[in-house]
Amino acid sequence: MPPRPCQLCSNNRAMIKRPKTGQQVCKECFFFAFEEEIHKTISDANTFKRGERVAIGASGGKDSTVLAHVMKTLNERHDYGLELFLLSIDEGITGYRDDSLETVKRNKEQYQLPLKILSYNELYGWTMDRIVEAVGKKNNCTFCGVFRRQALDRGASSLNISHIVTGHNADDVAETVLMNILRGDVSRLGRCVEITTRGEDTINRSKPFKYTYEKEIVMYAYFKKLDYFSTECIYSPEAYRGFARTYIKDLEALRPSTIIDIIHSAENIRISEVVQDALPKQQKCQRCGYISSNELCKACVLLQGLEKGTAKMAIGSKAKHVSQEVSSDTRTIPMFKMPDQQVRNNQTNQTNQAKQSV
């Protein structure tokens, strides 16, 4: 097979076929194009402010490892002036998270970034191992998802950070779009494709990889020999999401642009005002101060269920119906405080929407 030249530099041999464009490029051109596309996504959306403290949600997996590498590279190359941190959540899953945290600790050294690890046990008094013991293997991901979201915000807040970047890639976003359609969750449909979700009482969340294909992230990690962890969680994820994922991958194999087409579709859907008005109003959880659409936030409801041994009932039931009293010996989540920086930013930024992000 004769080597084909790179379509960008016409010098080196092409090694990769880019899924979005079909372009055939060499390693060096691939690295540069990959990084600069992420820079474009970030800068077109004015994602960061100079001097901002930004936490990279780091799991040790491929996406967040590549994200840490690329954020550090771009911060230096384009002089974003960001202060970067690694923020990891320890869910307390023996044989899975303990190993992946070792990867994050190595990343800390490799990238010379400060690392903060916050555990479910520290915050909620429960590890995922114990939660699974209590609720079984059916709803564990519901607990894990709700707890992780808050844990990340609380970890960031403890570092006085008001902006978190996560490694969600284009394949993940397309999958979420599909899930939101399948669940009829129209209000989340628009928000799940936004690069940044902001709110007065929430920490900003951004997805610099929203247009970045999973294939390219893995190729990048492979060619750059980045150190990442790739074992499946021992409490396998929800079956429903698994189907959505397989479906997306099958479509992508037939026509790679499918991923970006799904994202563009969701970006261009205009959600009717009727639906927007029907969105629950955001308030602060009466028990822990975290943003919530009910008097109690989901984490407090789930935690209360665990403490009372009625966890299975808490899922799907409305938070309103859960009693407000907590006996003095049950565990509650510490009060949530927004970082000072965020308060200042929001005073000068009146355009922020007061909606909780997805």
Binding site residues for ATP, as ranges? 57-59, 63, 89, 167, 172
User: What is the closest distance, in whole angstroms, from the C-beta atom of residue 124 to ligand SF4 in the complex?
Assistant: 13
Nearer to other proteins, 90 or 172 (CB): 172
Q: By CB under 5 A, is residue 335 in contact with Zn ion?
A: no
Show the tokens assigned to 296. Answer: 């109690």
Instruction: Sketch the per residue contact string, 100 through 139, with ligand SF4: x for CB under 6 A, - otherwise.
Output: ----------------------------x-----------
Long-range contacts of 7-11, Cβ-Cβ distance < 8 Å, separation of 24 or more = 8/33
Size of site (CB under 6 A) for ligand SF4: 9
Select the residue interacting with Zn ion from 6, 42, 86, 123 (CB under 5 A): 6
Size of site (CB under 8 A) for other proteins: 38
Select the residue interacting with Zn ion from 29, 84, 221, 260 (CB under 5 A): 29
Q: By CB under 6 A, is residue 65 in contact with ligand SF4?
A: no
DSSP 27-68: HHHHHHHHHHHHHHHHHHTT---TT-EEEEE--SSHHHHHHH
Residue 116's beta-bridge partner residues? 87
Show the tokens assigned to 288. Answer: 């822990």
Q: By CB under 8 A, is residue 165 in contact with other proteins?
A: no
Q: Which does 214 bind (CB under 5 to 8 A by kind): ligand SF4, Zn ion, other proteins, none?
A: other proteins
List the end-to-end C-alpha distance of the chain, in Å, as a whole number: 48
Q: By CB under 8 A, is residue 279 in contact with other proteins?
A: no
Report whether 62 contacts 48 (CB < 8 A): no
Q: By CB under 8 A, is residue 231 in contact with other proteins?
A: yes
Show the tokens assigned to 140. Answer: 């564990």
Nearest Cα to Cα of residue 357 among 184, 210, 205, 208: 205
Using CB under 5 A as the binding rule, the residues of this chain from 269 to 328 that contact Zn ion are 285, 287-288, 290, 297, 300
Nearer to ligand SF4, 70 or 144 (CB): 144
Phi, psi of 230 (to 5 degrees): -135, 50
Euclidean distance between CA atoms 196 and 45, whole angstroms: 8
Nearest Cα to Cα of residue 119 among 75, 158, 80, 82: 158
C-alpha angle 210/216/218, rounded to 5°? 105
Burial 229-251 (b: 16+ CB within 10 A, else e): beeebebeeeeeeeebbeebeeb
Q: Which does 144 bind (CB under 5 to 8 A by kind): other proteins, Zn ion, ligand SF4, none?
A: ligand SF4
Q: By CB under 6 A, is residue 179 in contact with ligand SF4?
A: no
Using CB under 6 A as the binding rule, the residues of this chain from 235 to 274 that contact ligand SF4 are 235, 237
Burial 83-121 (b: 16+ CB within 10 A, else e): ebbbbbbbbbbeebbeebbebbeebbeebebebbbbbbe
Report whether 247 contacts 240 (CB < 8 A): no
The one segment of 8-16, 191-199, 259-267, 300-308 that binds other proteins by CB under 8 A: 8-16
Instruction: Sketch the per residue contact string, 139 through 178, with ligand SF4: x for CB under 6 A, - otherwise.
Output: -xx--xx---------------------------------
Phi, psi of 121 (to 5 degrees): -60, -45
Q: By CB under 8 A, is residue 69 in contact with other proteins?
A: no
Instruction: Sketch the per residue contact string, 216 through 235, with ligand SF4: x for CB under 6 A, - otherwise.
Output: -----------------x-x
Report whether 73 contacts 45 (CB < 8 A): no
Q: Which does 300 bind (CB under 5 to 8 A by kind): ligand SF4, Zn ion, other proteins, none?
A: Zn ion
Binding site for other proteins (CB under 8 A): 1, 4, 13-17, 24, 27, 59-64, 100, 167-168, 171-172, 214-215, 217-219, 222-223, 228-232, 245-246, 249-250, 252-253
Binding site for Zn ion (CB under 5 A): 6, 8-9, 12, 26, 29, 285, 287-288, 290, 297, 300
Binding site for ligand SF4 (CB under 6 A): 91, 128, 140-141, 144-145, 233, 235, 237
